[in-house]
């Protein structure tokens, strides 16, 4: 074909391309990169020109013949005519669509108005005031794709989640499941207000996750949370020590041995169903014993600990009968 202008005002090339495009609108194709040989058809098919083709570099093609070898990533363009965008729009007019798109892309909310010719994106512009529900849906998609790490898991939020996991493990329903999959499935309920107010990923980093997690609790369970899974336990010395719920099967209380004198048994939580696992520490804070049966430890384990450590820590009490001894947080003052 030549570039001669016909009686209709189109060059012979464009006229030929218009005819092909009208016959096969789903085969109109735009080059993926300027000057390249790879194309995308309006029907969504990837296509490629043969090396050395005189059509390489054409921005648009109306493809008359293309075939694809089984397993090949793209079709091979055999015959085509070059066209311009205006001709492509005219030939495939029914495929031209303009719509609003709000979604999650490259780690953030993307809100835009897009004009497409089939699968080919022609024009886009940013939406300054996207629909709130669509933004919330995009943020939810982002959480499901990129994970709950998009939220600010403060130590308090992690600790609350661990306490809830403990109660679910031991008491079951109606205590909520708080694994990643369960939290993501339930996100519209426990994160609903935050998702509705957010506009972008950065807003997720300002969420109060602890407050949001509490929405998972029915009122009756919320009222008993601190009773059944206390944050801290008061030991005989008067210290209030934080429990570690990182293992939902066995909550841990790490406490210096001298502070537990007079305790007949390890405390039990979750309505008395679960004994706390005591990590008994030396005066220097090093573990000396692990037990959930304190009475047995006083009888069988403590005598050996006492014999090994009383010489190393002479300023701390090592009574023969720890079950009746006075607990203490302090060492005996040094003599002057």
Query: Which pLDDT band holds residue 3 (cuts at 50, 70, 90)?
Result: very low
Q: How confident is the model at residue 1 (pLDDT cuts 50, 70, 90)?
A: very low
Q: Does the residue 282 lie in any domain?
A: yes
Structural domain tally of the chain?
3
**7 pLDDT higher than 60:** no
My answer on whether 261 and 293 are in the same domain is yes
DSSP output for 237-267 = TS-EEE-B-SSTTS-EEEEEGGGGTT--S--
Packed helices 155-171 and 219-228: angle between N→C axes, nearest 10 degrees:
100
What SS3 class is residue 122? Answer: strand
From 160, 195, 225, give the residue that closes a domain: 225
Residues 82 and 16 occupy one common structural domain? yes
The residue that leads in pLDDT, 103 or 335, is 103
Burial 137-163 (b: 16+ CB within 10 A, else e): bbbbebbeeeebebbeeeeebebbbbb
Give the angle 244-250-254 at the CA atoms, nearest 5°.
40
Max distance between CA atoms of the chain, in angstroms, equals 116
Distance CA 203, CA 21 (A): 46
87 and 16 inside one domain: yes
Same domain, residue pair 219 and 249 = no
What percent of the chain shows pLDDT beyond 90? 89
| pLDDT tens digits, one per residue of 34-81 | 999 999 999 999 999 998 899 998 999 999 999 988 888 999 999 999
Question: Quick check: is 60 in a domain?
Answer: yes
pLDDT at 105: 93
Confirm whether 108 is domain-assigned: no
For residues 120 and 82, the answer to whether their CB atoms sit within 8 Å is: no
CB 166 within 8 A of CB 229: yes
Is residue 213 very low, low, confident or very high in pLDDT (cuts 50, 70, 90)? very high
- pLDDT value at residue 317: 94
pLDDT for 11 = 76
* Cis geometry, peptide bond prior to residue 174 (ω within 30 degrees of 0): yes
DSSP state of 149: G
DSSP letter for each residue of 21-89: HHH-GGGEEEESSTT-SEEEETTS-EEEEPTT-TTTT-SEEEEEEEE--TT-SSEEEEEEEEE-HHHHH
Q: Is the pLDDT of residue 4 over 60?
A: no
232-253 pLDDT tens trace: 999 999 999 999 999 999 999 9
Same-domain pairing of 220 and 236:
no
Chain mean position to CA 288 = 39
Answer whether residue 56 is part of any domain.
yes
Cβ partners under 8 Å of residue 304, min gap 6? none
The torsion region of residue 133 among left (phi > 0), alpha (psi -120 to 50) and beta comes to: alpha
Domain assignment of residue 6, yes or no: no
**Domain presence at residue 128:** no
pLDDT band at 330 (very low <50, low <70, confident <90, very high): confident
Tens-digit pLDDT profile for residues 122-158 = 999 999 889 999 999 999 999 999 999 999 999 999 9
> With left for phi above 0 and alpha for psi between -120 and 50, is residue 248 left, alpha or beta?
alpha
The answer to whether residues 213 and 239 belong to one domain is no
Average pLDDT estimate for 301-310 = 95
* Strand stretches in 52-200, DSSP E: 60-67, 75-83, 96-105, 108-117, 120-126
| Domain identity same for 16 and 89 | yes
Supply the mean pLDDT for the chain: 93
Regarding whether 213 and 246 lie in a shared domain, the answer is no
User: How far, CA to CA in Å, does 333 sit from each of 233, 284, 315, 328, 330?
Assistant: 28, 16, 7, 13, 9
Which pTM value belongs to this model? 0.78
Q: Tokens 């089939």 belong to which residue?
A: 118
Kindly state whether residue 281 falls inside one of the protein's structural domains.
Answer: yes
> Which residues sit opposite 233 in a β-bridge?
241
CA dist list (Å): 299 to 161, 243, 288: 37, 25, 15
**219 and 236 share a domain?**
no
**Which tokens go with 47?**
């296509």
- Which of the listed residues 58, 76, 94 is the one where a domain comes to its end? 94
d(CA 163, CA 274): 13
The SS3 call for residue 293 is: coil
Q: Does residue 6 have a pLDDT over 60?
A: no
Domain that holds residue 256: 232-309
CA–CA distance, 62 with 23 (Å, rounded to integer): 10
In a domain, 246, yes or no: yes
Nearby residues of 140 by Cβ (< 8 Å), 6 or more positions away: 187, 188, 195
Whether residues 251 and 289 share a domain: the answer is yes
Which of 225, 240, 259 lies at the terminal end of a domain, its last residue? 225
Q: Is the pLDDT of residue 336 over 80?
A: no
User: What pLDDT is attached to residue 334?
Assistant: 61
Answer yes or no: do 189 and 245 share one domain.
no
Q: What is the pLDDT of residue 2?
A: 41
Residue 303 has pLDDT above 90, yes or no: yes
Same domain, 205 and 260: no
- Token output for 315: 């300023």
């Amino acid at each position: 074909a030549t570039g001669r202008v016909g009686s209709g005002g189109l060059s012979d090339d464009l006229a030929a391309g218009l005819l092909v495009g009208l016959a096969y609108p789903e085969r109109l194709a735009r080059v993926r990169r300027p000057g390249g040989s790879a194309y995308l058809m309006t029907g969504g098919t990837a296509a490629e020109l043969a090396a050395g083709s005189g059509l390489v570099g054409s921005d648009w093609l109306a493809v008359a013949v293309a075939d694809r070898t089984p397993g090949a990533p793209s079709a091979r363009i055999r015959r085509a005519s070059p066209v311009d965008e205006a001709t492509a729009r005219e030939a495939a007019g029914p495929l031209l669509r303009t719509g609003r798109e709000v979604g999650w892309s490259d780690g953030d909310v993307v809100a835009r108005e897009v004009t497409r010719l089939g699968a080919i994106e022609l024009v886009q512009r940013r939406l300054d005031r996207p629909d709130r529900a669509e933004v919330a849906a995009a943020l939810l998609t982002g959480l499901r794709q990129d994970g709950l790490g998009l939220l600010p898991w403060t130590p308090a939020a992690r600790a609350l989640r661990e306490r809830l996991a403990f109660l679910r493990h031991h008491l079951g329903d109606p205590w909520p499941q708080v694994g990643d999959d369960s939290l993501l499935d339930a996100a519209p309920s426990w994160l609903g207000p935050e998702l509705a107010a957010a506009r972008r990923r950065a807003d997720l980093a300002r969420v109060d996750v602890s407050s949001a997690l509490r929405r998972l609790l029915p009122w009756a369970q919320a009222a008993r949370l601190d009773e059944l899974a206390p944050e801290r336990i008061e030991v005989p010395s008067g210290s209030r020590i934080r429990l570690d719920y990182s293992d939902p099967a066995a909550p841990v209380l790490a406490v210096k041995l001298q502070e537990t004198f007079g305790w007949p048994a390890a405390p039990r939580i979750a309505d008395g169903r679960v004994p706390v696992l005591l990590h008994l520490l030396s005066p220097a804070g090093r573990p000396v014993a692990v037990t959930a049966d304190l009475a047995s430890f006083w009888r069988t384990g403590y005598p050996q600990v006492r014999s090994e450590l009383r010489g190393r820590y002479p300023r701390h009490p090592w009574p023969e009968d720890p079950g009746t001894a006075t607990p203490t947080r302090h060492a005996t003052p040094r003599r002057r």
